[in-house]
Amino acid sequence: MKYFFAVFLSFGMQFVFSQTPVTGRITDDNARPVPLANVFLEGTYDGAMSDENGNFTFETGETGHLNLVVRMIGYKEFKKEVTLSGKQVSVEVQLVEEISELKAVTITAGAFTASDESRRTVFRALDIATTAGVTADIAGALNTLPGTQKVGESGRLFVRGGDGNEAKTFIDGMLVLDAYSPSAPNTPSRGRFLPFMFKGTSFSTGGYSAEFGQALSSVLSLESRDETELTRTDIALLSVGGDVTHTQAWKGGSAAAKVQYTNLRPYMNLIRQEIDWEEAPMSFEGIGSFRQRLTKAGLLKIYTNVSRSDFSLFDYSIDDPFQTRLFSQENGYTYVNASYKDILSTNWIIRGGLAYTGLDNDIITGYDAVAENENGAHFKAVVEGSIRDRIELKTGVEVLTRKYSYRVAPAGSGVFSSRFDESVTAMFAETDVYASNNFVTRAGVRVERNSLTDAVTLDPRLSLAGKVGEDGQVSLAWGRFRQTPDNEWLRQQTGLDPECASHYIVSYQRIENNRTFRIEAYHKQYDNLVKIVNDVVTNTGAGYARGLELFWRDNESVNNLDYWVSYSYLDTERDYLDFPVKATPSFASKHNFSVVTKYFIVKLKSQLGATWSFTSGRPYNDLNGPVFNGGRTPSYQDLSFNWSYLPKPNLIVYFSCTNLLGHDNIFGYEYGSVRNEDGLYNSRPIRQPAPRFLFLGIFYTISKDKSVNQLPTL
């Protein structure tokens, strides 16, 4: 027994004296201590937690070579081999911050993201369809955001002192050559694409990615929906027409087709109009989409939009109201977009596509006949992924080709015609470098060659973003952007250089508890603008635009209430086109203010919405005044309302009214060509076609799931 006790004691003493102390200190890459980190020897239960100073200590009876592992949420795992031999082991650990997609700062300068999946959602896709006063028009909804100007006689996006041609639309990365339906002179047009076809929207008011070219002021990027899992049929009976949509789903794919008929003629006969329509607008539209997964991650998407529309009206002379001129237009439009996206490897994806746009306009103005035709194709291929843990790269190539022709046959004279072919070849590269979750730098460059000028151009772009506290961040952006001049000028002088603009942006944004606050300042410098000198079209124009913008959104404070408020201040002048001096363009208003509210009343099964918009007076050129563009229109004011009632889950009754109070909005003045007996030019205000627009629709959905409806698309 004594012998057994002596042996046991000797083994116990050997175990005690063979324990190896392991100590160390844990810091981050800024030399700050990291408390509560988990430290252990791989494959054992031996370990400890670091204290408030980052220190740790423990003992182990293991011997030999083992890995010391340190883990902490928000940091990359640390692993180092240590030798355990009974002597103290001391390890200095420096943890590297893990770049988390959920935590990482994002570039927000000049960008509003509208996506139901976005981690930095400011403006959701659903908001576009349910904003009062816009009747599901994408551009109309975006005009409630800061940075845009209300130009009621156009309906297009006018962004930060840029005209409606400077904002370009892309679908799945592919350019749309003409994104708006045709409209009569001084009447608003609508976007050709309906919100329900898209799952996400990125609206950049400046400083956008090097991927996008041929856009001087703004990019509206639409991402079409992926395949759906539900087969359904949607029927809509509207006060101005109707439509039928069917969606067929199968494993790994789906297809949808929509036929829409719009006829404003019965409505125009009931509601008094400022315009003397001979035939009010009528259109027929077909929309189709096809989605198919070719591999586990590879998705092929095809989207097509085909439409035909026409209208005619009588234009009355300002000097002699008994003289009239017929204006009529027939428009044919085709857009086809095919895109594919797939995973190349663990860290890399490839995407690309091909788009085609075909446009035909047949116009009669008085006795003159005009024929305009444009056909264009856009190809793009992009590879993007991670070079290293903190460096992401996006690079690609694209080719844009288009053919344009214009023919006018004036009464009693010869035929004038013009045409040109343009090809733009571009390469771009852009990298995001994460210093940490709190700071990111994006640097990009775009190289283009334009066949019209045979010139190669290089446009650098740079953005920075850093967190301020847990929920706020500051972003800065700078870049050079260019765009081919409008067809109206190219058909007169095909050798025009692209128009250019430099953007400088600084912004602060805070998102906390479903509340968003954003303030942004910018300066844009224009050069190479189109300028008419002695009846010759040149590139000698220039200008600037600068401003301050505020945005506040809150869908948390009051149950079932969502609202946002936006304000924009704009200071801009240009010396371009036929301007005799530098002046503020007629489309630019100094102050723009919008309030949008949406409230759901559960007991009434209703969603109510209201939008109030205010715009200060816009300049116009008063031919009877001493100063060019010295006149000012009255302020623009509009209170619009909509109501969605759900008597059944799959049935919706929808009503909307724009300009509910009937405010007399004037967008400018037209002048006669000769002076009257008082030595003045006669004038006529440019007003809305009617004080209000009323819309009523009944929407019915047929599907296995009786709770599915069309509310997200209204």
Q: Is the same domain home to 62 and 195?
A: no
Q: Is the same domain home to 433 and 527?
A: yes
Which stretch of 156-170, 185-199, 458-472, 555-569 has the lowest confidence by average pLDDT? 185-199
Hey, what are 622's tokens?
Answer: 């008063």
Show which of 68, 94, 120 is a domain's final residue. Answer: 94
Domain CATH code at residue 351: 2.40.170.20
* CA distances to 142, 455, 497, 546 from 451, in Å: 34, 7, 11, 32
Question: If you average pLDDT over every residue of the chain, what do you get?
Answer: 87
Beta-bridge partner residues of 698: 237, 653
Domain membership of residue 100 (yes or no) is no
pLDDT in tens, 381-426: 999 988 887 888 999 999 999 999 999 988 767 788 899 999 999 9
End-to-end CA distance of the chain: 92
The radius of gyration of the chain from alpha carbons, rounded to an integer in Å, stands at 31
Q: Is the pLDDT of residue 117 over 70?
A: no
Apex 527 CA angle, 525 and 533, nearest 5:
135
Show which of 32, 66, 94 is a domain's final residue. Answer: 94
SS3 letters for 393-426? EEEEEEEEEEEEEEEEECCCCCCEEEEEEEEEEE
**Total structural domains within the chain:** 2
Domain membership of residue 383 (yes or no) is yes
Q: Is the same domain home to 563 and 622?
A: yes
Domain membership of residue 663 (yes or no) is yes
Domain CATH code at residue 24: 2.60.40.10
* CA distances to 174, 199, 226, 349, 604 from 343, in Å: 20, 21, 16, 4, 47
CA 478 to chain centre: 18
Q: Is the same domain home to 311 and 457?
A: yes
Confidence of residue 616 (pLDDT cuts 50, 70, 90): very high
Q: Is the same domain home to 131 and 243?
A: yes
Q: Is the same domain home to 37 and 169?
A: no
Show which of 94, 125, 145 is a domain's final residue. Answer: 94
Q: Is the pLDDT of residue 441 over 80?
A: yes
Q: Is the same domain home to 164 and 63?
A: no
Q: Is the same domain home to 67 and 208?
A: no
Domain membership of residue 101 (yes or no) is no
Q: Is the same domain home to 620 and 702?
A: yes
Confidence of residue 183 (pLDDT cuts 50, 70, 90): confident
Domain membership of residue 106 (yes or no) is no
* Predicted TM-score of the model (pTM): 0.83
% of the chain residues with pLDDT over 90: 54
Q: Which domain holds residue 652?
A: 111-713
Domain membership of residue 453 (yes or no) is yes
Closest Cα partner for 132 from 637, 560, 553, 643? 643
For 487, the 3-state DSSP assignment is helix
Residue type at position 564: W
Domain membership of residue 706 (yes or no) is yes
Confidence of residue 193 (pLDDT cuts 50, 70, 90): confident
Cβ-based neighbours of 412, under 8 Å, separated by 6 or more: 367
Domain membership of residue 104 (yes or no) is no
Q: Is the same domain home to 81 and 137?
A: no
Distance CA(255)–CA(276), nearest Å, equals 42
Give the pLDDT mean for 82-97.
90
Q: Is the same domain home to 332 and 423?
A: yes
DSSP per-residue codes, 47-83 = EEE--TTSEEEEEE---EEEEEEEE-TTBPPEEEEEE
pLDDT in tens, 275-334: 889 999 999 999 999 999 998 889 999 999 999 999 999 999 999 888 999 999 999 999
Q: Is the same domain home to 453 and 600?
A: yes
